Structure 1
Amino acid sequence: MPQSDLGTRVQALNDRYRHHSAISVLDHALRDPQAGQLALVSSFGAESVVLLHMVSVTRRETPVIFIDTEMLFTETLVYQQELAERLALRDLRIIRAAPAALAAHDPDNTLHQRDTDACCALRKTEPLQRALNGFDGWITGRKRYQSGTRAALDFFEVEEGTERIKVNPLAHWTREDLQTYMDENRLPRHPLVARGYPSIGCTPCTTPVRPGEDPRSGRWRDQDKTECGIHFVNGRMVRRGVSA
């Protein structure tokens, strides 16, 4: 679909659901033909349980894509398995980098030490692009409060350089809203959150956060990097504040 037509469709969706709640936006997006076939992309990280729970109570058969970089914390892998079972997710798709690509570009698993952007592209961005083939769009956990570049984030947006849309049901939520939702629905937290990891990525590139630090400061500490790269343009990573 041409970008101009896609933009018109996205604008119509935003106009239609502008004043809806997060779960209502999600529910309608999963059923509205204008939104098309959608998948939820989830890291099963610190705040992921909110959208995963919403999917489980609205349309449990929604495809859920989980990127296993093969460098994740054991706690994340266990949490993913337990949460998928507890929420009875019916279409969980675990994706990884192609073995041939890993052998060619990171045979000794040290690429992250030399080039974190290249490592993220190899283990996250490229596998996700393949997984999203055939979908009209994907659901993200991005929120306005996360950075200035997201201050005007809409529920629906065009993914630049593609023919897909992004759906951001939690765009207007605050960190307090997330905690309240978890508490009210008695949802299990990622075990590393209690150990000082408010944002959780791969083991080599994630460290605990000290009191008073920004919650994202433990990701790629001391590097000029804030995005893993899953929000991309034409397959290239774009630096736009914190990732979902």
Structure 2
Amino acid sequence: MLTFKTWEDTEQSFEIDETYKGALSVLDWAYSHYGENLVYACSFGIEGIVLIDLISKVKKDATIVFLDTGLHFKETYETIDRVKERYPDLNIVLKKPSLTVEEQGNIHGDNLWERDPQSCCHIRKILPLQEVMAEYPAWISGLRREQSPTRKNTNFLNKDDKFQSIKVCPLIHWTWKDIWRYTSKHELTYNVLHDQGYPSIGCAPCTNPAFTAEDLRSGRWTGSNKTECGLHE
């Protein structure tokens, strides 16, 4: 049995699926508990592709939200199109910010991501997800403990004060090798940028190939002290 405590110190126990390091069990519990009130905020990186495939085994018509900042790589949008073809029953929603990139430039100046990436992420990611989460008490995230030092203490269930919700993280025990073994075994489609040195893929202006295997997110916001977009801080 896998036992963990929620923020209310309430134990939730269920049979753990050893093959998937708890991921499938957590998803089954989460959808059984929250049903239609659970949404997956997906970046369509490789972890997202794996999670979508696992989610499809539990809830074929699950809602997947992509925060469409308008600044993503074309390869990311192409990946979304291929995922839609493979999983036609999923409800994939592209959530846009209230401001277009041009409108943001008129108000805050061009290329805000270069001068103030924190504000840019707030406008284009945080605020849109807050709008989404106003309708959902719980959301799924593809965080893994191995990804970076800031994520090493992530649990299956996390109290999310930023969005006043519960954040469910089924992949916390998966390694980078686990992710790719699963992808290969199930012949999953994925963003081709992963084959070009991009282990973590965000907005095009703020994402470079990673320069260290010890921190797979090292290519994000290179040259600044920023390590997260703010969704998981």
Q: Matches of residues 1-244 of structure 1 in structure 2 within 5 Å?
A: 7-8=7-8, 11-12=9-10, 15-17=12-14, 19-20=16-17, 21-33=22-34, 37-99=37-99, 103=103, 105-107=104-106, 109-210=110-211, 214-231=215-232, 238=233
Amino acid at match of 1:43: S
Does the CA contact (< 8 Å) of 1:39 and 1:138 recur in 2? yes
Structure 1, residues 112-165: CA drift from partner, whole Å, max 9, x if none?
121000001011110111011121110001112223443332211111255410
Change (3 A) 1:89 1:229: farther
Give the deviation of 1:18 after TM superposition.
7.8
Change (3 A) 1:89 1:226: farther
CA distance in 2, matches of 1:158, 1:137: 10
TM-score by length of 2: 0.86
Indicate the percent of aligned positions where both proteins have the same amino acid.
35
Amino acid at match of 1:135: Y
- Secondary structure, in 3 states, of the residue corresponding to 2:65? strand
CA distance in 1, matches of 2:42, 2:213: 27
Amino acid at match of 1:106: G
- Secondary structure, in 3 states, of the residue corresponding to 2:142? coil
- Greater alpha carbon shift after TM alignment, 17-26 vs 158-167: 17-26
CA distance in 2, matches of 1:175, 1:89: 28
Change (3 A) 1:72 1:155: same
CA distance in 2, matches of 1:213, 1:149: 13
Give the deviation of 1:76 after TM superposition.
0.4
Q: CA RMSD in A?
A: 2.3
CA distance in 2, matches of 1:209, 1:152: 22
TM-score by length of 1: 0.82
- 5+ unaligned residues in a row in structure 2: which ranges? 1-5
Give the deviation of 1:181 after TM superposition.
1.0
Structure 1, residues 26-76: CA drift from partner, whole Å, max 9, x if none?
02210125x871100100123310001111121021111101110100010
CA distance in 2, matches of 1:212, 1:142: 17
CA distance in 2, matches of 1:181, 1:128: 28
- 5+ unaligned residues in a row in structure 1: which ranges? 1-5, 232-237, 239-244
Does the CA contact (< 8 Å) of 1:102 and 1:122 recur in 2? no
Give the deviation of 1:24 after TM superposition.
1.6
CA distance in 2, matches of 1:125, 1:73: 19
Amino acid at match of 2:114: Q
Aligned to 1:235: none
- Secondary structure, in 3 states, of the residue corresponding to 1:144? coil
